[in-house]
Amino acid sequence: MKQSKLAALLGAGLLLGLGVAACGGSDDKTDASDTATATETSEAPPAEETSDEPVAPETEDTGAAGKSGELTVWCWDPAFNLYAMNTAASIYQQTNPDVTVNVVEVAWDDIQTNLITYAQSGAIEELPDIFLCQNNAFQKNVINYPELFSTYTDSGVDFSQYPQSVVDYSVIDGENWGLPFDNGAAIAAYRIDVLEEAGYTLDDFTDITWSQYLEMGKDIKAKTGHALLSGQAGASDMIMMMLQSAGASLFDSEGNPTIAGNDVLLKSIDMYKQLVDAGVMEEYNSWDEYIASFVNGDVVGVINGCWILGSIQTAADQSGKWDLTNLPKLDDVEGATNYSANGGSSWAISANADYELAADFLASTFAGSTELYDSILPSSGALANWLPAAASSVYAEPQPYFNNDAIYAKIVDYASKVPSNNTGVYYYEGRDAVGTAITDILSGGDPETELQEAQEETEFAMG
């Protein structure tokens, strides 16, 4: 997988920033927002519990008798998700010593395959109590296989303590089906030394529009020879971030595709094309080439989900030379903002769960423990969606790699301002069709014609 090497670096303790493997992006392995696993897994989930247990934080022994029972959890990436879940288990066991939490590594692709298999066979008893699900796939799975999920209606979780845009990924018919975990808020990161060489500061790139970004990018290219941005050819991540920043989508509230004639989509693609044509944005054929473009210093800016910061930090010689701010916003678009997201995932409680225990465990840890988020942030870069975590002194600590900026508190603040948008059941089909359209438009195709074809392709996929 694309980010497996970086995940391994995180697991080895070489990176203390945000983990690349954290992203809950695409399940398309050629896409820039793909979720990585640190090790490959087989189609069937492994039978043994992971041995990658963290050390429980030291606390007083209250001696109080808590709940008892056993929970099984499926998730991917030992350095990020498994580490966070094992830490949550250790914290929960401080007051509930008779609870066992078995955390099993299962790749996202295998979780998705298992959900389909169990739904078709009716083997609901094979499900774990809790499993992780990518945000952009959550609605599709609940709508297609509602018999596999439990709602959070009686969980005791206060969803007002999460960004509404993130909560909405797993809301169907007004009910919550997922508990947001890793943060996919989008950031714009820059080599501030190169900006200064061209006569700019980070403030010049804060709260700006895309047209301003384009003009400054042209100037920086002329003065330094460096492009400001890069991306993977054929991917639609940048367009999806532009869309969500304005609260727009490829689908309406009923799940019908709105690709053809979508004015915000047309403006997003037009700006994307201007960036590429001007040399402000460089396209690369593979994920590895995309990462290398900014790690090697060829490109001096990055716009992506905050999980990309782990990749940036692989360039040890660039420590202190980076900082981050919010995104450019679309010009002349009603509701446009400087905030978006790319990736992220949420915890599901299965229909096979010990519901009372699973709900109490999640509400007490991922939806109620600053100790948890303070514990996992320094070692794994697991950045919270739970807004109270941002008030922690750990989140406010300056980060030397990023110009001593308190980037973690900044990113959680960004997440709270991301507009909601509708992903629907056929998000991936629509996104992939738009990716093809973008490639054709960059080659000279008519935008409206290409988007009409993308609309028809999506409708065909919908059956």
Q: What is the pLDDT of residues 393-443, one digit of tens each?
A: 899 999 999 999 999 999 999 999 999 988 878 998 999 999 999 999 999
Do domains 4-59+66-184+345-394 and 186-340+421-461 share one topology? The answer is: yes
110: left (phi over 0), alpha (psi -120 to 50) or beta: alpha
In this prediction, residue 38 carries a pLDDT of: 31
pLDDT band at 48 (very low <50, low <70, confident <90, very high): very low
What class has domain 186-340+421-461? alpha beta
Q: Is the pLDDT of residue 374 over 50?
A: yes
Reported as a single tens digit per residue, the pLDDT across 215-265 is 999 999 999 999 999 999 988 999 999 999 999 999 998 889 999 999 999
| pLDDT score, position 422 | 83
The pLDDT assigned to 439 comes to 93
pLDDT reading at 167 higher than 60: yes
Show me where the domains of the chain are located.
4-59+66-184+345-394, 186-340+421-461
The predicted pLDDT at position 345 comes to 93
Over range 197-201, report the average pLDDT.
98
> Of 211, 216, 154, 166, nearest to 190 (Cα)?
216
Q: Is the pLDDT of residue 13 over 70?
A: no
Q: Give residue 5's pLDDT.
A: 29
Mean pLDDT in residue range 154-176: 94
In the predicted model, what is the mean pLDDT of residues 13-25? Answer: 35
CA distance 220 to 241: 23
The pLDDT tens digits for 80-137 are 899 999 999 999 999 999 999 999 999 999 999 999 999 999 999 999 999 999 998 9
pLDDT at 20: 34
pLDDT (mean) for 10-21: 33
Q: Which fold has domain 4-59+66-184+345-394?
A: D-Maltodextrin-Binding Protein; domain 2 (3.40.190)
pLDDT at 42 over 60: no
